[in-house]
Amino acid sequence: MARYENRYWWSHDGLRLHARDYAGGEDGRPPILCLPGLTRNARDFEGLAERLSPEWRVLALSLRGRGESGYAKDPMTYVPLTYVQDVDALLRELGVTCFVAVGTSLGGIVTMLLSGTERGRIAGALLNDVGPEIMPAGLQRIRGYVGRGSSWPTWMHAARGLSEANADVYPRFGIEDWLRMAKRLYRLNSAGRIVLDYDLKIAEPFRVPGNEAGPDMWRALDGLRDTPTLIVRGARSDVLAADTAARMVERLRDAELVTVPDVGHTPLLTEPELDAPLARWLDRVKEPATA
């Protein structure tokens, strides 16, 4: 039986959006808000949510155009500033004024932008393999696959396809790991085929000339300057460079960097190497240091 409830809310432009709501944290702790990567959805945080939800309320979101969240009529709304508005709409509906953010890749960019919209409302932040600068090789790789449809006759075929395309990202994975990942990334369509579980049009903003600029993300990171922050980097990452991660730690007043071995972009956040750092980070969130 699922340990979560499905929760839906409406965006400012009329999209029905979805989150998984894992109960917990009855002692007044702020909820943990999990924001997924570009092509991911709420299912991406199953393992982390099941671990944390006995003590914390966990809200795992699917951004617009992913999972059970509605697809946008205008694909140019598939941009971080719109995602920030969508998250704000959920927070207002729930009456949440303080939360802990876990942002994977794109979700980390949204986290940094959220930190600047209202200072002090993020009680803790985890940035998973993302920072204010993205390595060109990683950006090129992402542009190469996002928005390209694929379909498979069975889940095992999908798992094997993932393993062939991503073996260098998760070299320790076995076929069962790839099968679990396939069931997070894909869905069964009405024709009985296994297909990607996102709107392929999320790729369209990437194709607009000059759209790469975006906001100054180093300035956005400053919104987390006094926030307990855990920066997670995959040792094989082609998105977050080691020197960028080190600069992030220097710029923030309460940050820890953990590099996960034998993992690329992105760590799953359930790796055993993260058990102790996660516990230390959440302890800092529960008991913030006094000045």
- Residue numbers of the domain that contains 223: 4-139+204-286
pLDDT tens over the chain, length 291 residues: 458 999 999 999 999 999 999 998 767 789 999 999 999 999 999 999 999 998 999 999 999 999 999 999 999 999 999 999 999 999 999 999 999 999 999 999 999 999 988 888 999 999 999 999 999 999 999 988 898 888 999 999 999 999 999 999 999 999 999 999 999 999 999 999 999 999 999 999 987 765 555 678 999 999 999 999 999 999 999 999 999 999 999 999 999 999 999 999 999 999 999 999 999 999 999 765 443
Q: How many domains does the chain have?
A: 1
**Interatomic CA distance for residues 106 and 239, integer angstroms:** 11
Instruction: Residue 239: give its domain's CATH number.
Output: 3.40.50.1820
Q: Is 176 a member of any domain?
A: no
Q: Is 159 a member of any domain?
A: no
SS (H, E, C) the chain: CCCEEEEEEECCCCCEEEEEEECCCCCCCCCEEEECCCCCCHHHHHHHHHHHCCCCCEEEEECCCECCCCCCCCHHHCCHHHHHHHHHHHHHHHCCCCEEEEEECHHHHHHHHHHHHCCCCEEEEEEECCCCCCCHHHHHHHHHHCCCCCEECCHHHHHHHHHHHHCCCCCCCCHHHHHHHHHHHEEECCCCCEEECECHHHHHHHHCCCCCCCCCHHHHHHHHCCCCEEEEEECCCCCCCHHHHHHHHHHCCCEEEEEECCCCCCCCCCCHHHHHHHHHHHHHHHCCCCC
Measured between alpha carbons, how far is residue 104 from residues 15, 16, 142 in Å?
23, 22, 14
Q: Is 153 a member of any domain?
A: no
Q: Is 217 a member of any domain?
A: yes
Q: Is 208 a member of any domain?
A: yes
Q: Is 85 a member of any domain?
A: yes
Parallel, antiparallel, or unpaired for β 122-128 and 4-10?
A: unpaired
Instruction: Look at residue 210 in the predicted model and tell me its pLDDT.
Output: 56
Please tell me the number of Cα atoms within 13 Å of 239 on its side-chain side: 26
Instruction: Look at residue 291 in the predicted model and tell me its pLDDT.
Output: 38
Q: Is 230 a member of any domain?
A: yes
Maximum CA extent, the chain: 60
Cβ atoms 40, 142 nearer than 8 A: no
Model confidence, pTM: 0.95
User: Could you tell me which residues are beta bridge partners of residue 35?
Assistant: 103
Q: Is 191 a member of any domain?
A: no
